[in-house]
Amino acid sequence: MKKVSVKVCLGTTCFVMGSANLQELIEIVPAKYGNKVDVSGVPCLGLCSVDWEFSKAPYVKVNNEVIKEATVEKVLNEIDKQLAK
């Protein structure tokens, strides 16, 4: 089975908009999913500059799905969806 990849944006915009709270994913995800999911913090995903209002930060990518205004809950839901595929 392919691993699900989770990239938490830690770029400035996302960080200011709350991705600091998402860093707990880096502990929660391996505890919950073991090695089925790879989670890492990444520099700016380049999404904030497309969305000029910055209103949808913080962003997290789960495989190719971009999660806007990401919360721990939204990210976990998306991981479950991707694992169910």
Question: Between residues 67 and 79, which has the closer beta carbon with respect to ligand FES?
Answer: 67
CA trace torsion 42, 56, 46, 28 (10° rounding): 10
Residue nearest ligand FES, CB atom distance: 11
Q: Which residues lie below 8 Å from residue 56, measured CB to CB, with a gap of 6+?
A: 47, 68, 69
Centre a 10 Å sphere on the Cβ of residue 10 and count the other Cβ atoms it contains. Answer: 19
Mask 24-63, x = binds ligand FES (CB under 6 A)?
--------------------xxxxx--------x-x----
> Nearest approach, Cβ of 34 to ligand FES (angstroms)?
27
Residues that bind ligand FES (CB under 6 A): 9, 11-14, 44-48, 57, 59
